[in-house]
Every structure is written in C-alpha cells, then in structure tokens.
C-alpha cells in the first residue's frame, strides 16, 4: 500500500495530458520549439501511450522499495527537478549528480550528464535499475505490473500485441516525458515584437548573452543548448571524468552535457554537481573563466563583466521562464 500513500506528497499539483491521438503537445503548454516533437518509429505517441507513461512516471511501484517514483526526483512542482544539490536515492543515499530537469528532453540526442543514453527509451530504465537510485529489477517490475489488471488493460491498449515488458515500460515513460515542454516565455513574446514584454535590463542581457559574454557558444537555438559536452572548469572535491568515460578523448575529460536554459530560474541548484545555488553564482563562475583550468573548454575565458552587466544577464535568464503548467496526479491502476 505504500505506493498509494506516496501520492499524498504530491496531491497539491495538477496536470492534464492531451487526450487526442496526436504527436502534438497539449495545447495549453504552448510550446516554443516545434509544433511536433521527434520520436522513434517504433514508439509513435498517442493518448494511450502518453497516459500510461504518465501513470508509470508517478507510480512508486517502479522502485524496489515501492516508495520512490520518477517524480520523486523530477517533481513537476520544482520545474521537474528535486531542488537538491544532488539527488537522494535508495535508502536515502546521497548521490553525486544534480538532478537535471526533463523539460524539453524530447529534443535531446544524449541523455544523462555524461550522455550515456541515446534516447529517452534507453534513459527510462537507467534510474529504475540503478541500485543507488530506484533499485528495481526491471524483470521483477514486469511481474508486479502483470498482477495488476488496470495495468494489463492499459498496456493492451497502448501497445497491443507487445504486452508488459521492459521495452514497453521504457517506451511508455519516454512517451510521457516527450510531452513535458517549455511554455511561451516573456522572451518569446519580445521576439515577436512586443518591446515591453521584457525589461530593458533583460534586453541588455540578451545582447550580452549573444555578444560579450558569448553564452551562445554553447546555449543557442530555441532550446538554448548545443546538446554537446564541455569542461567549464568546475572545481569539485572528487574528479569526475564526465563524458571522457564514454568518449576517451582529451576534450571530453571533465566535460558534461549543456543543459537547456528554458525555465532555468526555477531549476536551482546549478551545474552537474549542484555547486551553485543562484544564477548570480553561475554568472560569477563564467566571469572568472572557470576555476579548474586543467582541461578547460576553449570558449571559457574571463569575461570582465561589470556588476550591472551581471544583473542584466540574470534578468535575461529570468525572461526565459514560461508560465506554470498545471499538473494532475494520475489515479494509479489497481
């Protein structure tokens, strides 16, 4: 019964999911990236798949303890993060990485800070099967779900002739995650010609972002990310190889994935290790040109920003925050 008790923790959040058989995100989200999002040929989204994935995302049955769900770390009330410096996993173990938002993950090509997963389907089972995170054997999860008629019916509708399996669990969760998209922010309104949509300070910050601060070297496009990996000179007590563990070339040593800046004002703490609590601290880091210079990305250089320029950059980053999307916790199958 613990998986049902857990739901009370999030009962103050509300969400609605698109009920139409379409690849378009829910209308109320008003995405700013693309009208439709990319998906694998063998996992074309529809209402049944999205709803099933949503239920699995919030159901703590996905963990070995029946207490942790995907939403434990990716809380919709915290911009799909957990608000912690680094995540807390199975048996309250403090983990080594900050929880990234899943916002706009539909457009990413590499998942996790080191990019070890090539799709949301591949990513979905990673935390579930990790002994440090959710500590669930995916095969045992399959057996648990098969005992619940409500899940049997939903899998039959979402993935007819495929049944309940590791693969369909991952597909469903990925289908839901692809619907978590950024909403229209003041910056987008300003781009469309409304000069009063963002402050003069934010407008100066946008010019700095593209110019003197050179943030666009890594944060560009509608999603403000190059989906690449960079060593930005984070000085940590423990040396983390980052992307180098998978791609053993010098430039990848200590390199981590570039996060989206959409809703970034809501996703503190920042960096892969959660070492900065505020956007001001992040900008100070870049202004210094990083702290650990041993394998620094060539784009990292001291910026020599004035106090006012730093404030303008912060104002611009705040302009990338869209309106909150109501979240409704689903009823769990029985």
Known binding-site residue numbers: 70, 73-74, 90, 215, 218-219
- Is residue 256 within 8 Å of residue 272, measured between CB atoms? yes
331 is catalytic: no
Which tokens belong to 13?
A: 């959040």
- What whole-number distance in Å separates Cα of residue 34 and Cα of residue 52? 24
- Judge residue 88's burial from the number of C-beta atoms within 10 Å of its C-beta, 0-12 exposed, 13-18 middle, 19 or more buried: middle
- Judge residue 322's burial from the number of C-beta atoms within 10 Å of its C-beta, 0-12 exposed, 13-18 middle, 19 or more buried: buried
Which tokens belong to 243?
A: 């992307």
Q: Of the residues 51, 121, 133, 309, which is catalytic?
A: 133
- Name residues whose C-beta falls within 8 Å of residue 67's C-beta, 6 or more positions apart in sequence: 2, 3, 6, 60
- Is residue 18 within 8 Å of residue 24, measured between CB atoms? yes
- What whole-number distance in Å separates Cα of residue 23 and Cα of residue 20? 9
Residues tagged in the binding site annotation for heme c? 70, 73-74, 90, 215, 218-219
Among the residues of the chain, which ranges form H helices?
2-5, 47-58, 70-73, 120-129, 138-146, 149-158, 166-177, 186-191, 200-210, 279-288, 307-318
Q: Which residues are catalytic?
A: 133
């Amino acid at each position: 019964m613990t998986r049902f008790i857990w739901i009370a923790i999030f009962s103050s959040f509300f969400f609605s999911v698109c009920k139409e058989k379409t690849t378009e995100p829910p209308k109320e989200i008003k995405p700013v990236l693309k009208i439709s999002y990319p998906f694998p040929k063998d996992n074309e989204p529809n209402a049944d798949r999205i709803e099933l994935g949503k239920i699995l995302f919030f159901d703590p049955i996905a963990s070995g303890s029946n207490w942790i769900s995907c939403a434990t770390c990716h809380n919709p009330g915290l911009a799909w993060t957990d608000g912690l410096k680094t995540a807390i996993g199975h048996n309250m173990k403090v983990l080594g990485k900050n929880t990234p938002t899943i916002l706009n993950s539909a457009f990413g090509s590499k998942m996790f800070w080191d990019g070890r997963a090539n799709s949301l389907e591949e990513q979905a089972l990673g935390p579930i099967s990790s002994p440090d995170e959710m500590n669930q054997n995916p095969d045992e999860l399959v057996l648990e779900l098969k005992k619940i008629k409500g899940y049997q019916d939903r899998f039959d509708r979402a993935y007819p002739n495929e049944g309940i399996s590791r693969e369909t669990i991952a597909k469903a969760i990925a289908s839901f995650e692809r619907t978590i998209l950024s909403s229209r922010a003041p910056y987008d309104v300003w781009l469309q010609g409304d000069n009063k949509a963002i402050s003069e300070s934010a407008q100066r910050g946008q010019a700095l972002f593209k110019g003197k601060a050179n943030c666009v070297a890594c944060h560009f496009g509608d999603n403000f990310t190059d989906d690449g990996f960079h060593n930005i000179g984070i000085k940590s007590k423990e040396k983390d190889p980052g992307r180098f563990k998978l791609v053993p070339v010098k430039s990848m040593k200590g390199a981590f994935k570039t996060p989206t800046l959409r809703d970034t004002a809501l996703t503190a703490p920042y960096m892969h290790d959660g070492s900065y609590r505020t956007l001001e601290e992040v900008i100070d880091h870049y202004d210094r040109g990083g702290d650990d210079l041993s394998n620094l990305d060539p784009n990292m250089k001291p910026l020599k920003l004035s106090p006012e320029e730093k404030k303008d950059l912060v104002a611009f980053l705040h302009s990338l925050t869209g309106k909150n999307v109501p979240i409704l916790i689903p009823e769990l199958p029985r």
